[in-house]
Amino acid sequence: MTRLAVFDCDGTLVDGQADVCWAMERAFTRAGLTPPDNHDVRRIVGLSLPAAVRSLAPALTDEQNRAVTEFYRTSFRARREEGLLDEPLYPGIAELLQALHGAGWQLAVATGKSDRGLAACLASHGIAHLFTSLQTADRHPSKPHPAMLEAALLEVGAEAHEAVMIGDTSFDMLMARSIGVASIGVGWGYHAAPELLASGAARVAQTAADLAAALEEALP
């Protein structure tokens, strides 16, 4: 039996909130708009960029949304090229991924990041080789649309009952629930545990060790 663990990235594998908040503030400012509060920005981490901007500022015109989106991309890219990005892995995640891979699990990522951003993030931590499938916002609708998760299942050759979605936001849980995939929330990200549970999470792990145990229970 195939066992597939699909991970969100920001807020689940890595803590990139500081850079996301910085880039969003810079993007709105460059577009001549009032930047959103950082708390609100953290709430939309995980959505694709245009959807995130729309959620933060629904009154913007399409032209303004495109401007903010492009300013965000260029600012984030420049920060990466300057070596200023700070996207540390959460404690125990590297060891968890290695252990799952060694135990025969197939691993995938479903993220609102771009292809380039995800590739750079995984490469910087030396974990890219552990993943069989990488699904990003470049090729799919924003979460909670299930396209990314469906693509991961197809690429790996797994059925919905053979997979678990792991994420820190309700977007991840709702995406999984919509196609009958089990989901586990993580308590170290950007949405609170009660919200994750209400959105379909079977449980919320508080540490990487807790997540390992939850995965074994979900797909023994």
**CATH number for the domain that contains residue 63:** 1.10.150.240
Q: How many CB atoms lie within 10 A of CB 87?
A: 21
From 30-34, 84-88, 96-100, 140-144, the region with the lowest mean pLDDT: 84-88
User: Which residues form the catalytic set?
Assistant: 8, 10
Residue that is last in its domain, among 53, 81, 109 = 81
The enclosing domain of 194 has a CATH number of: 3.40.50.1000
CB 191 within 8 Å of CB 169: yes
pLDDT recorded at residue 203: 97
CB 170 within 8 A of CB 187: no
Task: Flag whether pLDDT at 218 surpasses 90.
Answer: yes
pLDDT tens-digit series, residues 107-131: 999 999 999 999 999 999 999 999 9
Greater confidence (4 vs 1) lies with 4
Checking phi first, is residue 111 left (phi over 0); if not, alpha (psi -120 to 50) or beta? beta
Q: Are residues 55 and 115 in the same domain?
A: no
Residues 29 and 119 in one domain: no
Mean pLDDT of 152-175: 98
Residue-level pLDDT at 209: 97
Q: What is the pLDDT of residue 164?
A: 98
Assign 135 to helix, strand or coil. Answer: strand
Kindly report which listed range (83-87, 140-144, 162-166) carries the lowest average pLDDT score. 83-87
Same domain for 68 and 96? no
What is the overall mean pLDDT for the chain? 96
Buried b (16+ CB within 10 A) or exposed e, 164-202: bbbbbbbbbbbbbbeeebbbbbbbbbbbeeebbeebbbb
Give me the mean pLDDT over the 49-69 stretch: 95
49 and 150 both lie in a single domain? no
Query: How long a stretch of residues is the chain?
Result: 220
Which residues pair with residue 184 across a beta bridge? 166
Same domain, 189 and 127: yes
- Tell whether 8 and 21 lie within a shared domain: no
Residue ranges making up the domain that contains 36: 17-81
- Compute the average pLDDT of residues 22-47: 94
Q: Could you give the number of structural domains in the chain?
A: 2
| pLDDT one-digit tens code per residue, 72-110 | 999 998 988 888 888 999 999 999 999 999 999 999 999
Alpha helix ranges (H) inside 82-189: 93-102, 115-124, 147-156, 170-178
Stated pTM of the model: 0.93
In degrees and rounded to multiples of 5, residue 180 shows phi and psi of 75, 25
Boundary of a domain, candidates 62, 81, 100: 81
Instruction: Say yes or no: 63 and 46 in one domain.
Output: yes
| Beta-carbon count within 10 A of 61 CB | 8
CA dihedral 10, 13, 15, 17 (to 10 degrees): 10
Question: Positive or negative CA dihedral for 74, 75, 81, 82?
Answer: positive
167 and 93 assigned to the same domain: yes
Which of 66, 81, 96 delimits the end of a domain? 81
For residues 125 and 206, membership in a common domain is answered with yes
